[in-house]
Amino acid sequence: MERYYFDVYNTEHTQMDGDGQLLPNPDHAGIEALRILYDVARDEMPGGEHLKITVKVLNASREQIFEASLTLSSSWS
């Protein structure tokens, strides 16, 4: 098991992961990053017309190994 950190960046603020999670391999860390991205998007989408969320995965050495982003733009016609 290796520790992975998940830093979240969005339009309004940044949340740095100080604890991390123990996961069996980088593939599981990528899956967790996508889950986090989905959860943050679900919570924040009702409040904004333009939203960009990025989750960066860092390994135990704090080196970035994966990144997932979601951009949402919405407007009334």
pLDDT of residue 64: 98
The reply to whether 20 falls in a domain is yes
The reply to whether 50 falls in a domain is yes
The pLDDT of residue 58 is above 70: yes
The reply to whether 21 falls in a domain is yes
pLDDT of residue 46: 64
Please give the full DSSP string across 11-52, using - where no structure is assigned.
SS-EE--SS-EEESSHHHHHHHHHHHHHHHHHHHGGG-SEEE
The reply to whether 44 falls in a domain is yes
Task: Render pLDDT for 1-57 as a digit per residue (tens, 0 to 9).
Answer: 999 999 999 877 899 999 999 999 999 999 999 999 999 888 877 666 788 999 999
Counted domains in the chain:
1
The pTM score is: 0.87
Domain of 40 in residue numbering reads as 2-63
CB 3 within 8 A of CB 21: yes
Q: 9 forms bridges with which residues in the sheet?
A: 14, 54
